[in-house]
A and B are shown apart, each in its own frame.
Chain A
Amino acid sequence: MLLPATGLFLLLACWQIGVRVLGISPAILPPPLLVARSVQDNAALLAVEGWVTLRESLYGFLLAFIVGVPIAVGIVSSRLLDRMFYPLLIATQSLPKVALAPIVLIWLGTGMESKVAIAALVAFFPIVVDTAAGLRGTSAELLELARVNRATQFQTFRKVRFPAALPFILAGSKVAVTLAVIGAVIGEFVGSDDGLGNLLLVANAQLNTAMAFAALTALAVLGMVLYAAVAGIEMLLRPWLGEVRHG
């Protein structure tokens, strides 16, 4: 915790001094102290807009989770589903989600729904892939234990496969939750009248670069908060997660 903080401080110090020494206009690259003042001056605005983006990201992530986990279960449980849809799922990953954003906006409008949908779209893939990998990776011996004890398919899933996959699901969720923020901001860029992404666009248009950086700072904090929330859940399960990683 101390070393990254020192690193950040050094970086900001170089930035502050560099801008001053090279005489770069604040409209192009505002020094960190100016950004800090902008954050301070616009704290209320950042909080309001940040709250919008936070909700979009969180709902998008949750939607991706609620849809993604059952899809992963389906793929793992049925060879037919697996062979029919898994290649398609991989193929859709070559499609940049940003390109879908305008279409989603046509369907769902410029309100929160479209942002949530885009966030979910972006967050969906790592959840499905990691959950499927976790469910598939359940040790053959544990499955044999379930079999020798005459566990039903459902019991095996609930008591063996799902807990065994949990570390993978959480790993996928950590990636997904940060991607959800990106998805929400993409949605706001394409069309909206609130959120941090919108604030960023407005600040840019006004050449208020300090404000744009303040919005960026808020986005970074938002991403970290969401990541920390998932990591916190992981920490609660730490007693056994550690051993799973070591095989």
Chain B
Amino acid sequence: MSAAIASATTAAEPFARILGVGKSFGEPRGRFQTIALQAVEYDIAQGELVALLGPSGCGKTTLLNIIAGLTTASVGHVEIRGRRVTGPAEDVGFVFQTPNLMPWRTVLANVMFPMEILGRAGPAAKARARDLLAMVGLSAFVDQRPMALSGGMKQRVALCRALIHEPSMLLMDEPFGALDELTRMEMHDLLLDIRRMSATTVVFVTHSISEAVYLADDILVFSARPGRITQRIRVTLPYPRSAATRYSAAFTQLERQAGTALGVVHPDA
């Protein structure tokens, strides 16, 4: 008992485990083989937000896809709640780089898509979809088509769609990368709100240092070619995080640490 209280991250059973995962493209041991990911080992705790931070081409999206069951690992495997991932799992929500909405569906129908696939698109699901849309401030747009929405609004719809079936894990692939900075900061606070309300575990791919520091409990810094975790940074910034957090000394210190790990900040600078 006391061990559990002392530290949530060292709790007996991690939520998900990444076990020696590697991924290579091309013929095994062939001349043109590219190693995208090498020996990634990490335990994700229940309710944690892990940011995968690295330059483009470092395999962080590949790792996310392996966790999602969209791609198979060349070596090693991923376990979620002790079960080996062999394909997309039911209780996972996925947010793409683009909103990826269906232009022919209304906002509500887009959010309902996963429930339709699960065969649970009843009135209760619809009510939940409306609640989610209200939470992200889109009540007035429920019956609109995506084309009437701004980029930030579309990505909020995509977030609702990923949450509609109450997944225990949310996988996000640079979800706010295409948004302008102000909208992105709003989305950050929205995501933090969602996490406060539900104990969803989140894996978040980004190449933005400040985004990773602001959102994450743990940052895994990746190097490119082959993609490897070069550093793990524990983010101890207190919750709730807000605009003030972004200007705190601790925040800047963490940004510097991540920047150094990425090789973009010189240690002596």
* Cβ A148 vs Cβ B88 within 8 A: yes
Residues of B near A150 (CB, < 8 A) are 87-88, 90, 117
In the assembled complex, the Cα of A141 lies from the Cα of B87 at a distance in Å of 17
In the assembled complex, the Cα of A144 lies from the Cα of B105 at a distance in Å of 17
- Residue-wise, chain A 157-191 has the 8 Å CB interface mask toward B (1 for contact) of 00110011010000000000000000000000000
Residues of A near B114 (CB, < 8 A) are 149
Total A residues in contact with B, Cβ cutoff 8 Å:
23
Indicate whether A151 reaches chain B with its CB closer than 8 angstroms.
yes
Indicate whether A240 reaches chain B with its CB closer than 8 angstroms.
yes
**Chain B binding surface, main DSSP class:** loop
A169 to chain B, nearest CB (A): 13
B159 to chain A, nearest CB (A): 13
* Cβ A147 vs Cβ B116 within 8 A: no
With A141-B98, A145-B94, A240-B104 as known contacts, state yes or no: A155 contacts B145, CB within 8 Å: no
- Residue-wise, chain B 92-129 has the 8 Å CB interface mask toward A (1 for contact) of 10101010101111000000011011100000000000
Q: Which residue of B lies closest to A141 (CB)?
A: B100
Q: Which residue of A lies closest to B87 (CB)?
A: A150
Residues of B near A12 (CB, < 8 A) are none
* Cβ B96 vs Cβ A149 within 8 A: no
* Cβ A240 vs Cβ B92 within 8 A: no
- Residue-wise, chain B 139-158 has the 8 Å CB interface mask toward A (1 for contact) of 00000011100000000000
A180 to chain B, nearest CB (A): 27
* Cβ B102 vs Cβ A142 within 8 A: yes
Residues of B near A149 (CB, < 8 A) are 88, 113-114, 117-118
Q: Which residue of B lies closest to A155 (CB)?
A: B117
Indicate whether B70 reaches chain A with its CB closer than 8 angstroms.
yes
**Chain A binding surface, main DSSP class:** helix
In the assembled complex, the Cα of A139 lies from the Cα of B101 at a distance in Å of 11
In the assembled complex, the Cα of A239 lies from the Cα of B103 at a distance in Å of 8
With A141-B100, A142-B100, A243-B103 as known contacts, state yes or no: A147 contacts B147, CB within 8 Å: no
Residues of B near A141 (CB, < 8 A) are 96, 98, 100
In the assembled complex, the Cα of A25 lies from the Cα of B70 at a distance in Å of 75
Q: Which residue of A lies closest to B171 (CB)?
A: A148
Residues of A near B254 (CB, < 8 A) are none
Indicate whether A242 reaches chain B with its CB closer than 8 angstroms.
yes
Residues of A near B117 (CB, < 8 A) are 146, 149-151, 155, 159
Q: From the candidates A139, A144, A159, A243, name the one contacting B70 in the complex (CB within 8 A).
A: A144
Indicate whether B53 reaches chain A with its CB closer than 8 angstroms.
no
Q: Which residue of A lies closest to B99 (CB)?
A: A141
* Cβ A145 vs Cβ B147 within 8 A: no
* Cβ B96 vs Cβ A145 within 8 A: yes
Indicate whether B132 reaches chain A with its CB closer than 8 angstroms.
no
Residues of B near A163 (CB, < 8 A) are 102, 104
In the assembled complex, the Cα of A142 lies from the Cα of B102 at a distance in Å of 8
In the assembled complex, the Cα of A160 lies from the Cα of B88 at a distance in Å of 18
Indicate whether B68 reaches chain A with its CB closer than 8 angstroms.
yes
Greatest chain A CB density within 10 A among B68, B69, B70, B114 is at B114
With A150-B90, A150-B117, A163-B104 as known contacts, state yes or no: A243 contacts B96, CB within 8 Å: no
B141 to chain A, nearest CB (A): 14
Residues of B near A164 (CB, < 8 A) are 102, 104
In the assembled complex, the Cα of A139 lies from the Cα of B146 at a distance in Å of 16
* Cβ B145 vs Cβ A243 within 8 A: yes
A240 to chain B, nearest CB (A): 4
In the assembled complex, the Cα of A237 lies from the Cα of B145 at a distance in Å of 12
Q: List 11 A-B contacts (CB under 8 A).
A: A142-B100, A147-B88, A148-B69, A148-B94, A149-B88, A149-B114, A150-B88, A150-B117, A239-B145, A239-B147, A243-B103
Q: B residues engaging A (CB < 8 A)? A: 68-70, 87-88, 90, 92, 94, 96, 98, 100, 102-105, 113-114, 116-118, 145-147
Q: What 4 pairs between A and B have smallest CB-CB spacing?
A: A243-B147, A240-B104, A240-B103, A243-B103
